[in-house]
Amino acid sequence: MGGAPEGEREIVRCAAAGVLTVAVMAATPAAGQSAPGPWVLDVRAATSGVPGDAAFYPTLTAAAVPSRGYGADIGGHFYAFTIGPGRVGFGANVLIIRSTATAAAPSADPDSSQRLTVNLRTISPQISFNFGSRDGWSYLSAGLGVASIATETRGAASGSVESGWLRSVNFGGGARWFIKPRLAFGFDVRAHKIAAGTGTTPTPASTVTSVSAGLSIR
């Protein structure tokens, strides 16, 4: 119950390494090309791991909990000035993820099964360093924001936990390629380190990694 399987974590680590490689190796604008920007809006489909600690499910009766969810990643960024080979950007993304799982009944009675749901939301302000040209660029970014984790258990035993808004540090990177003057395809790989909750039902600190891909406009 402590998180995603090792194979899944290895895939995420490889994807993150790929993002870093793309960003580091990206070329600066060639002569006659303009710098990244001046602004973009992102609308992407997303998938993310979700916290799997039993503390998020106080009425848990079996060992199955949600491990991965799906949703959307929406954000906007503007590009203010250049430092060395990179363009500095400021912006924020909102990630909304929902994940469900059904815990098998511990007895022959089907009514003893549980339906588990977790909703993860993050608001992630970011400072980014962008490398490339107006026609396409890669980036590395990080920031301090907030996240909330809400879980619900139905079936054999019902209950819910709402973490409230918790501090969340995010860092990652990605790239955008403009297939038309105002339309781009892009992706982002991002880690979210979420602080422990100290509300009515205390929750442990957790780290999840999101991967999103979709369109950007400017």
Helix/strand/coil for 135: coil
Rounded (to 5) percent helix, strand, coil in the chain: 10, 60, 30
User: How confident is the prediction along the chain (218 residues), in pLDDT tens digits per residue?
Assistant: 444 445 445 444 545 544 444 444 444 443 446 889 899 999 999 999 999 888 888 777 777 788 899 999 999 999 999 998 899 999 999 999 999 988 766 666 666 678 889 999 999 999 999 999 999 999 999 999 999 999 998 877 788 888 889 999 999 999 999 999 999 999 999 999 999 988 777 889 999 999 999 999 99
pLDDT at 176: 97
Encode burial over 136-153: b for 16+ CB neighbours within 10 A, e otherwise: bbbbbbbbebbbbbbbbb
pTM of the predicted model as reported, rounded to 2 decimal places: 0.82
Q: Report d(CA 52, CA 67) in Å as an integer.
A: 6
**How many alpha carbons fall within 13 Å on the CB side of residue 45?**
1
Fold of the CATH domain 6-217 = Porin (2.40.160)
Q: Which of 169, 172, 170, 207 has its CA nearest to residue 187?
A: 172
For 93-130, give the DSSP string.
EEEEEEEEEEEPPSSS-GGG-EEEEEEEEEEEEEEEEE
How high is the pLDDT of residue 110? 61
Question: By three-state DSSP, how is residue 56 classified?
Answer: helix
